[in-house]
Structure 1
Amino acid sequence: MTEDNAPKRFRVNNLVRYLDEDESVIRQRAAQKMGVDESELVDFALIRRSLDARHKPRFNYNVEVAIEDARSLGKLPGNVQPAPDPGKFAKKKYEPTKQERVVIIGAGPAGLFAAHRLAEAGLKPILLDRGQPVEVRGRQVSKLMHKGELDPDSNICFGEGGAGTWSDGKLYTRVSDIRVKHILETIVELGGPSDILWKGKPHLGTDRLVGLCKAFRKRLTDLGAEVRFGAFVSDFVIDKTAGGNLVKQVVLRDGEKIDCDRVIMAVGHSAREMYRWLASNNVALEPKPFAVGFRVEHRQQLINEIQYGKWAGKEGLPTADYRLTANLKDGDKKRGVYSFCMCPGGQIVPSPTQPGGICVNGMSHASRKGHWANSALVVSIEPDDFGAFGDIDGLEDFGGQLAGMAFQREAERRAYELGGGGYIAPAQRLVDFREGRASKDVRESTYKPGIAAADLSQCYPDFIIENLQQALDRFDKKMGGYLTNDAILVGVETRTSAPVQVQRDDESFQSVSVGGLYPAGEGAGYGGGIVSAALDGLRVSERILEELS
């Protein structure tokens, strides 16, 4: 068949299916939209499916079809357009002419995908992580949850897969980049479910993420990469003899030195020791905004009923989620208050990385079949807010560069004391919090170390508490029944993103202070979530490959 006679492919968008309809109707409706008989569709592929639950729940579809003879179509109807050339989505191939030694610090999404991209091209990267592989890390996380024993190097935040391993495993991002498709395809190749390629809100769940990390590790080693755990990077050797600063070695805590030509620093948003090293060695970084607050936990059945109304519990509907936002006037500024990392059917988990402080996060399994829903409720804060606690430890270190980190640590310290130690978290009934009264008791929570009834206003400066209280009224108007005293707040959520951004050149992606050092991912301030962090790791690794090819 010549190219001119080959079937022509088209994208057909915004097709609708209701809950009581079989998915086969989408093929029929695609043919109807095209004005052809269903038998004329020689190929049919699902591109995207999303749920619209604003009124009567329905699924919206975008599909791609092929038609043998498209000459009779005439003018294409609305929501139909020629399909893009598949070559446009192809991954660029690199053929490095030099074999350089690239060390990657951090085996989270940015580090894993950077290592994978380099290894695919024939380099032999060395991937280091302070934490442990998932099979060991899982036991350490269990000790923290059930016995209150924290390993500062391997926990919810540190170890293979990064902080996203014990999470809901969300895989959606607002960033438009062809590499997002490559990331999802890689996950499927490694054993992830194929539906992440077309779901509107794809997610993996912790149970799938653990297996995926093992497969990723095997793929890297099969490609010739070296993967090392328990490898805490404490220092760098910087060559200053060539008229500038150039990284030459990374130094591990046990004194081992590893030669390198380049270093990708993908350490995650909780690498406080690394931030201190950077600041103390005059590596350019600056405070950045982030958000803090608490985890709120509702009965999942309530969230289903609020979101789906009389259709709650109907077969075919996923476990309900939500996204809430409010922009409030706070003095001379607007302040955002919003839900973050909502975990349907999930549980609240402890995410501290240092003794004497407590912070929390959320996770879900792939099925999202748990009886409870949780989400962060957070308030955006700017660098000029970081001094709101007053004179706290670390606030003025390095000219205030790490003031955001000091703010996080102070909130975590207060929460730890309020909970009574042992990583027991302070908690408060939601209406009690809104009304400004301490809870006398709280129901049981999914947070396994345990919770203690408390007045959560003691965890933060007043402006954070007041903005959260005000936002709850708006949230209850958007989701009637959300503000209930059966719901509880658990404190504190402080690690929504990195408190600093490590400055890098826009073209080379190298640190503006140290040549050969590539800040990457969420910990460096260039990503937020699994996919955006992985995407930044790909950007950095591809820039290196361009230089070597």
Structure 2
Amino acid sequence: MSILVQIRVLPRQQEDEAYLLELALEKAKLRKNEIKDWRIRKRSIDARNKTVKLNLQIELWQHSDTREIIPAFIPQEISKKREIAIIGAGPAGLYAALRALEAGIKPIVFERGKDVRSRRRDLAKINKEQTVNPESNYCFGEGGAGTYSDGKLYTRSKKKGNVLKAMEWFVHFGADPDILVDAHPHIGTNKLPQIITSMREAILEYGGEVHFNSKLTDLKLKENRITGLQINETNWHSFNDVVLSTGHSARDIFHLLHNKQIKIEAKPFALGVRVEHPQELIDHIQYHGDNDNPYLPPASYALVEQVDGLGVYSFCMCPGGIIAPCATQQDEVVTNGWSPSKRNNPYANSGIVVSIAPQDLPNYTPDDPFVCLNFQKSVEKSCWEAAGKTQQVPAQRMIDFVEGRLSTDFPKTSYLPGIVGADLNLVLPPLISKRLRKAFVSFGRKMKGYYTNEAVLHAPESRTSSPVSIPRNPETLEHVEIKGLYPCGEGAGYAGGIISAAIDGINCVDAIAKKYAEK
């Protein structure tokens, strides 16, 4: 077995491999001639004190140790009798397809949007012409929302599956191996498209199918069992197993299930604004003034506060990032954030959102699965109207928002469609606005300099997670009422990011493979 040791160094010392090895050997009480190999296994930044340090976990192999290298992705010959439908080619759908190939099952993927290259033209139209293609946008298309929403790979879902396997697959298909080392791994929106393309090419190479511009429009059921599905309102396909991985914004799927009397439920989610600061300011705060240190990456932050009984917290913080327009319909506006791999833009942005449970909403009834979804839609439409019914968003400087006055001017924004000055206290529901006001003041006490009029609020940040869940059996992972239907990923309420969605895709296929094995 290998030996693991922890060392702490200054950021500038991380590139001195001889020094790192010397510290690790001293900690392990070994001499250099007693080891045959070593590597940095984990890396994180400790900025709690004025002197910023790096925490490194070093792995050492002695001569008697074996270092077995197992291929990350091992496809099998697929069975002609075993095939599954996968609805959606986001992280959950793609990983489900790859796992199916490892299990000898033929995956047939149906994606409502376009392939990742063609999708770029529709994203450009949102930014330049302010027109939204409801089937091809930041949320829909190959790779799903994950392709164009930063590529952060951090997850707390350690108990839900094999995180390392999910990460190793990213590396296998082209990601930087550093994602296996960093405590908060990040690929970057500029690099994800090629990785997603490589995954699709592998699915096709090993016998799977991927169909774009192929929208699920109906399901065929018999005796509470899935028997087929309809694509684009015309083409019927027979399937006994369907992985439903449609993402958090496929509202039509929730309505389809409800109309077919397939059980769905209202689910807690979060809604607020996306806040943009100068990255230089965040670096200065987090690195205690050492923001010109070339060995430190652009700084991030994480904030949380309980305000009047509800949690307010930072979400999807993007250092050196860009705010993106993520609407899926023309009559709404939605913001999200992403960063390129180098995180070298001059802005830092983060969602600051309020946790909302169905019971928190004034029109809540226990039998309404759409109470949170309808609230989400109403906020997105109100913001669209407040900004002039375009893909611009209503905006306000932070202190102006808290003190209730209009902002008369704005710094440059990374949000390409543009911003329109508005009093967000009048645009957002009081449930949200009054808690945000208190939270920003509190965050300013926790991070000296955060509460500033240099920060601009862009509204709304509303697609944090699905406002609807699709209940499933915790053992079989099938829908609680419909055999052969596997609700999966963020859209079903079982994931909260790229890696957790990918893991859930793997888990659903493992459940299907187990069923085949038992037969």
Q: TM bucket by the smaller chain? A: over 0.9
1:74-85 alignment, distance < 5 Å = none
> Separation in 1 of the partners of 2:323 and 2:59?
40
- Give the Å deviation of 1:64: 1.4
- Give the Å deviation of 1:98: 7.7
Q: Which residue does the alignment assign to 2:407? A: 439
Q: Which residue does the alignment assign to 1:537? A: 505
Q: Which residue does the alignment assign to 1:196? A: 179
> Separation in 2 of the partners of 1:450 and 1:17?
43
- Give the Å deviation of 1:309: 2.0
> Separation in 2 of the partners of 1:107 and 1:228?
9
1:285-296 alignment, distance < 5 Å = 285-296=264-275
Q: Does 1:181 align with 2:149?
A: no
> Separation in 2 of the partners of 1:258 and 1:493?
37
> Separation in 1 of the partners of 2:85 and 2:71?
29
Q: Does 1:101 align with 2:83?
A: yes
2:475 pairs with one of 478, 483, 507: 507
Q: Which residue does the alignment assign to 1:53? A: 47
Summarize the Cα distance change of 1:88–1:546 in structure 2 as closer, same or farther, 3 Å threshold: farther
Summarize the Cα distance change of 1:284–1:484 in structure 2 as closer, same or farther, 3 Å threshold: same
- Give the Å deviation of 1:414: 0.4
Q: Cα deviation per residue 1:283-320 (whole Å; 9 max; x = unaligned)?
A: 12211111000000000111111111232111210111
Q: Which structure's CA Rg is the greater one? A: 1
Whether the 8 Å CA contact 2:78–2:101 is kept in 1: the answer is no
> Is the partner of 1:405 in helix, strand or coil?
helix
- Give the Å deviation of 1:444: 2.6
Q: Which residue does the alignment assign to 1:425? A: 393
Whether the 8 Å CA contact 2:10–2:52 is kept in 1: the answer is yes
Letter of the 2:61 partner, please give it.
A
Q: Does 1:356 align with 2:335?
A: no
> Separation in 2 of the partners of 1:503 and 1:196?
32
Q: Cα deviation per residue 1:443-497 (whole Å; 9 max; x = unaligned)?
A: 3311111100001122332121111111111111111111111210001011100
> Is the partner of 2:162 in helix, strand or coil?
helix
Whether the 8 Å CA contact 1:414–1:458 is kept in 2: the answer is no
Q: Which residue does the alignment assign to 2:29? A: 35
Give aligned-pair identity as a percent.
39
Whether the 8 Å CA contact 2:72–2:169 is kept in 1: the answer is no
Q: Does 1:283 align with 2:262?
A: yes
Q: Which residue does the alignment assign to 1:68? A: 63
> Separation in 2 of the partners of 1:66 and 1:37?
12
- Give the Å deviation of 1:121: 2.3
Q: Which residue does the alignment assign to 2:8? A: 16
Whether the 8 Å CA contact 2:247–2:489 is kept in 1: the answer is yes
Summarize the Cα distance change of 1:94–1:285 in structure 2 as closer, same or farther, 3 Å threshold: farther
2:134 pairs with one of 152, 155, 158: 152
Summarize the Cα distance change of 1:260–1:200 in structure 2 as closer, same or farther, 3 Å threshold: same
Letter of the 1:252 partner, please give it.
I
> Separation in 2 of the partners of 1:384 and 1:460?
19
1:335-350 alignment, distance < 5 Å = 335-350=310-325
> Is the partner of 1:250 in helix, strand or coil?
strand
- Give the Å deviation of 1:37: 1.5
> Separation in 2 of the partners of 1:93 and 1:443?
51
Whether the 8 Å CA contact 1:120–1:223 is kept in 2: the answer is no
Q: Which residue does the alignment assign to 1:263? A: 242
Q: Cα deviation per residue 1:129-155 (whole Å; 9 max; x = unaligned)?
A: 111011010110010011101100010
- Give the Å deviation of 1:68: 3.4
Q: Cα deviation per residue 1:82-129 (whole Å; 9 max; x = unaligned)?
A: x9x969999999898783220000000000000110022222111011
Summarize the Cα distance change of 1:441–1:310 in structure 2 as closer, same or farther, 3 Å threshold: closer
Q: Which residue does the alignment assign to 1:297? A: 276
Letter of the 2:231 partner, please give it.
L
Q: Which residue does the alignment assign to 1:520? A: 488
- Give the Å deviation of 1:261: 1.7
> Is the partner of 2:296 in helix, strand or coil?
coil
**Which ranges of structure 2 fall in alignment gaps of 5 or more residues?**
none
Q: Does 1:466 align with 2:434?
A: yes
> Separation in 1 of the partners of 2:516 and 2:342?
44
Summarize the Cα distance change of 1:475–1:359 in structure 2 as closer, same or farther, 3 Å threshold: same
1:299-314 alignment, distance < 5 Å = 299-314=278-293
Whether the 8 Å CA contact 1:97–1:548 is kept in 2: the answer is no
Letter of the 2:439 partner, please give it.
A
> Separation in 1 of the partners of 2:105 and 2:30?
51
> Separation in 1 of the partners of 2:392 and 2:430?
23
Q: Which residue does the alignment assign to 1:172? A: 154
Whether the 8 Å CA contact 1:419–1:451 is kept in 2: the answer is yes
Q: Which residue does the alignment assign to 1:232? A: 215
Letter of the 1:487 partner, please give it.
A
Q: Which residue does the alignment assign to 2:381? A: 413
Q: Which residue does the alignment assign to 2:116? A: 134
Letter of the 1:59 partner, please give it.
L
Letter of the 2:312 partner, please give it.
V
Summarize the Cα distance change of 1:360–1:117 in structure 2 as closer, same or farther, 3 Å threshold: same
Whether the 8 Å CA contact 2:91–2:502 is kept in 1: the answer is yes
**Structure-2-length-normalised TM-score:** 0.95
Q: Which residue does the alignment assign to 1:76? A: none
> Separation in 2 of the partners of 1:118 and 1:107?
14
**Structure-1-length-normalised TM-score:** 0.90
> Separation in 1 of the partners of 2:16 and 2:144?
37
Summarize the Cα distance change of 1:255–1:91 in structure 2 as closer, same or farther, 3 Å threshold: closer
> Separation in 2 of the partners of 1:428 and 1:121?
52
- Give the Å deviation of 1:441: 2.9
> Is the partner of 1:207 in helix, strand or coil?
coil
Letter of the 2:39 partner, please give it.
A
> Separation in 2 of the partners of 1:495 and 1:103?
26
Whether the 8 Å CA contact 2:139–2:326 is kept in 1: the answer is yes
- Give the Å deviation of 1:399: 3.8
> Is the partner of 1:309 in helix, strand or coil?
coil
> Is the partner of 1:206 in helix, strand or coil?
coil
Q: Does 1:273 align with 2:259?
A: no
